[in-house]
Amino acid sequence: MAENNAFVVIGAGLIGICTALELTHRGCKVTLIDSGKPGRGASFGNAGFIASELVDPLSTPDTIRKAMPMLVNPHGALSIPLRNLHRSLPWMVRFAFSARSQAVARGRDALAQLLTTAVPAWQALLDRERLSNHLHRSHYMRVWERAQGKAAALAERNFYNDWGIEAQFAEREQVSALEPALDGQISHAVLLPNAHRLSDPYQVSQLLFKRFQERGGQFLQGHVESLRPNEHGVQLAVSGSKQLFDKAIICTGAHSSELLRSLNVTVPLMAERGYHLNLPSVKNLITGPICSAERNVFISPLQDGLRIVGFSELGGVTLPENPARYETLKHHLGALLPQTKPHLEQASRWMGMRPTLPDSLPVIDSLPHAPCIGFAFGHQHAGITLAATTSQLIADRMTKGVDAMNMTPFRINRF
């Protein structure tokens, strides 16, 4: 028999760590399992930005229209490796289907519901753990290098304001005043003056993991091969051994499909791979995150240096990284911030896998016929943004059987 109120959280990315920690605060006995080290998944390479403005789903008519130019551009932000084409083609059909106007409208409503809670949830979590100094208020800018993009910037500003997100149009002079390093590079920007970012996503994950252990949480490094509900709880096969828990929550990101198959559950999950360069010797060059609207790269100042993140590569979980992606990141960073050119060859490299579903909505749910199994995965580009919120929502579902908001858009069987 499993211990009373014994939980297992499978997956020690930031969502899994936050979920495990939240459960300990609710009096649960929690084991966190991962085949790797805590915080070393997609969370490790994130730019640390709390992207509460990401109301638009990834799949929109505008995205579909821009896809081909990005694919044919050698420095474009989209890539579909031929060796994963057999898996990515069916997913892309679903992705295109999600760009219908009604689906986009539903997606925006659902994302906005989650995103409005993102910053307050992070503030509450870090305050509780006495780590509030790791959340920084900051401006954020979407920048355009060419004046032809002014109409797009004004439309974007209006879109944000329509959703209650404070946004301003900034001319060249205001951009240069806020970020002198961009002087002469940028025509205009959309400025979000009330943004937030983490000091360093990996460091925060390690500090929260430490809090989890201090509260009695246990970490087990091992590969979960399968899980299934039975009359006593949930039985896991972990690296060849069997273990029993009262309840289980799957937080395994892009690798969730394997475990779902053991439950006879199928979802169209894509490992949408992203790349980053980190320049540890470049600090204090910019003061807030910057996203290039034309280059589709994101640059963020972190505690351990300057980081550039980019690419949507539909590469799945098995292909090796593509070294050409790092050269493209160097190309874009050197063009936007020429001051970084002497440091580019010393940059550290990383590739990770975002768990992306065609409608851009995560799965935050429990198994309909076996509510002792929960799910929290599929957060695409908003994993760090929604980690604190997700941990509260899935803990509510799994400990109380109640939801703090309408969770219908995030159900496991919506596909």
Give me 219's structure tokens. Answer: 């970490």
Q: Which residues contact 44 (CB under 8 A, 6 or more apart)?
A: 201, 202, 205, 350, 352
Overall average pLDDT of the 105-130 stretch: 98
Cβ atoms of 374 and 247 within 8 Å: the answer is yes
Our CA dihedral for 126, 132, 133, 137, rounded to 10 degrees, sits at 100
pLDDT tens for 340-366 read 999 999 999 999 999 999 999 999 999
**CA–CA separation, 51 and 381 (whole Å):** 9
pLDDT tens for 185-242 read 999 999 999 999 999 999 999 999 999 999 999 999 999 999 999 999 999 999 989 9
Provide the CATH number for the domain around residue 143: 3.30.9.10
Q: Residue 299 to residues 55, 76, 143, 185: CA-CA distances in angstroms? A: 20, 16, 11, 14
Overall average pLDDT of the 316-327 stretch: 95
Give a yes or no: residue 122 inside a domain: no
Overall average pLDDT of the 1-9 stretch: 75
Q: Does 66 have pLDDT greater than 60?
A: yes
Q: Which residues contact 163 (CB under 8 A, 6 or more apart)?
A: 55, 108, 112
What does the DSSP 8-state code read for residue 41?
A: S
Q: Which residues contact 85 (CB under 8 A, 6 or more apart)?
A: none
Q: Does 310 have pLDDT greater than 70?
A: yes
Q: Residue 403 to residues 234, 251, 356, 388, 395: CA-CA distances in angstroms? A: 22, 18, 23, 15, 9
Overall average pLDDT of the 235-258 stretch: 95
Give a yes or no: residue 143 inside a domain: yes
Give a yes or no: residue 256 inside a domain: no
Which helix (H) or strand (E) element contains residue 62? helix 61-72
Overall average pLDDT of the 172-185 stretch: 96
Q: Does 44 have pLDDT greater than 90?
A: no
Give a yes or no: residue 73 inside a domain: yes
Give a yes or no: residue 190 inside a domain: yes
**CA–CA separation, 229 and 247 (whole Å):** 9
Q: Does 331 have pLDDT greater than 70?
A: yes
Give a yes or no: residue 4 inside a domain: no
Domains held by the chain: number: 1
Q: Give the per-residue pLDDT at 122.
A: 98
Overall average pLDDT of the 11-38 stretch: 97
Model confidence at 4, pLDDT cuts 50, 70, 90, reads low
Q: Give the per-residue pLDDT at 1.
A: 40
Q: What is the DSSP string of 80-129?
A: --GGGHHHHHHHHHHHHHTTSHHHHHHHHHHHHHHHTTHHHHHHHHHHHT
Report which residue type is found at 296: N
Cβ atoms of 204 and 134 within 8 Å: the answer is yes
Give a yes or no: residue 297 inside a domain: yes
Query: In terms of pLDDT, which residue wins out, 282 or 3?
Result: 282
**CA–CA separation, 286 and 144 (whole Å):** 16
Q: Give the per-residue pLDDT at 5.
A: 77
Q: Is the pTM of this model over 0.75?
A: yes
What is the b/e burial string over 262-288, where b = at least 16 CB atoms within 10 angstroms of the residue's CB?
Answer: ebebebbbbbbbbbbbbbeebeebbeb
Overall average pLDDT of the 275-289 stretch: 96
Q: Does 246 have pLDDT greater than 60?
A: yes
Q: Which domain holds residue 194?
A: 67-98+134-199+269-356
Averaged pLDDT score across all residues of the chain: 96
Give a yes or no: residue 19 inside a domain: no
pLDDT tens for 149-168 read 999 999 999 999 999 999 99
Q: Does 3 have pLDDT greater than 70?
A: no
The proportion of the chain whose per-residue pLDDT surpasses 70, expressed as a percent, equals 99
The proportion of the chain whose per-residue pLDDT surpasses 90, expressed as a percent, equals 96
Q: Give the per-residue pLDDT at 14.
A: 97
